Amino acid sequence: MVTALAAIVLVVMFAPGLGEVREKLDGAAPGWLVVAVLLEGASMASYVLMFKPVFCRRMGWHMATRISLSELAIGSVVPASGIAGLALGAWVLRRQGMPGDHIARRSVAFFIIKSSVNFVAVAIIGAVMAVGLLGPHVSLALTALPAALAVLVIAAVLLLPRAGPGPDPPPGAGRMRRGVSAARRSLIKGTAEAVELVRSGNVYLVSGAIGYWAFDNAVLWATFHAVGQSPPITVILMGYLIGQLGGLLPLPGGVGGIDGGLFGTLVVYGAAVAATAAAVLAYRLILFWLPLLVGGPVFLALWRDLHRNENADQAAVPQRSR
């Protein structure tokens, strides 16, 4: 992961034909880069806020913070839209004694709530741009179409619980069939629980979900300012969604997936090529290193404590005499 990002940096710094990008990075305003780092910190804090009310309101904030920061650290290495981090969190929660079916449902709910903010934003911003209330003025294929697709995705998610969990697998069913059935139940019930959680109006959940999305967008906004460009905020917001879809690819550090989606979309919407390349690279470096530097030590400490407790429990079990 570090090697992949380092390779990209080296290509930008030394490859011919990328002189303007290098100039943008060399002349990046330190103050704006500090702002970008602080905004990413706020995004991480928002992730912590929404974690606790989704998985367990009775969980202490200390443990919730440790698990969620560990998820962000793993997610920075293998993003896949945060699925890798959620898998780590599920493992930790299971070791803490939380029922597996609850973890599965709430992991689905967490992923849906976290992702839904993006789609709602695109539906609103795309529609507003399509009717000309906000610029830039681009084709309906870049405004109305993404908005319509976002609305369809939202509608599909809301209708998904009506499909029902399906019948239980018959006795003696194979592992594959039982696994598919359990996954369907978790997906259907988790989606329904996501809707219920949002309707509950929990302040931590709602503010965390919106803050995680908004502050992460703001990081990209700040890195553009750092390299001396300020494209319309609507362009940044629309480009962000495509970048996150690219993050579904399980590439180390998100290299290529998120970057390609962000860069391509922003350029299509009219952002300058060199400035966009420099801003996206700075954005990705911050999103890779800050969660890893903050969450990495937290993850290692959490891992050590879990193994220490496990060894203590095993030592407390009386050994059978021979």
Residues near 248 by beta carbon (within 8 Å), at least 6 away in sequence: 80, 81, 257
Place of tokens 């803490």: 96
Number of domains in the chain: 1
Over range 313-321, report the average pLDDT: 47
**Average pLDDT over every residue of 66-94:** 82
Is residue 26 one of the residues assigned to a domain?
A: no
85-128 pLDDT, tens digit per residue, is 888 888 889 888 889 889 999 999 999 999 899 889 989 999 99
Q: Would you say residue 204 has pLDDT above 90?
A: yes
273 belongs to a structural domain: yes
For 265, residues 6+ apart whose C-beta sits below 8 A from its C-beta are 238, 239, 242, 243
Token readout for 53 is 């009310």
17 falls within a domain: no
In a domain, 38, yes or no: no
Kindly state whether residue 318 falls inside one of the protein's structural domains.
no
Q: Residue 65 sits in which domain range?
A: 2-11+45-307
- State residue 11's pLDDT score: 44
Q: How far apart are the C-alpha atoms of 276 and 263, rounded to whole Å?
A: 6
Q: Contact at 8 Å (CB) between 227 and 24?
A: yes
What are the structure tokens assigned to 118, written together?
A: 């993006």
70 falls within a domain = yes
Instruction: Flag whether 257 is in a domain.
Output: yes
Q: How far apart are the first and last CA of the chain?
A: 50
d(CA 119, CA 151): 7
pTM higher than 0.85: no
Structure tokens that stand for 245 in this block: 């879809």
Answer yes or no: is 29 within a domain. no
Average pLDDT of 151-168?
Answer: 88
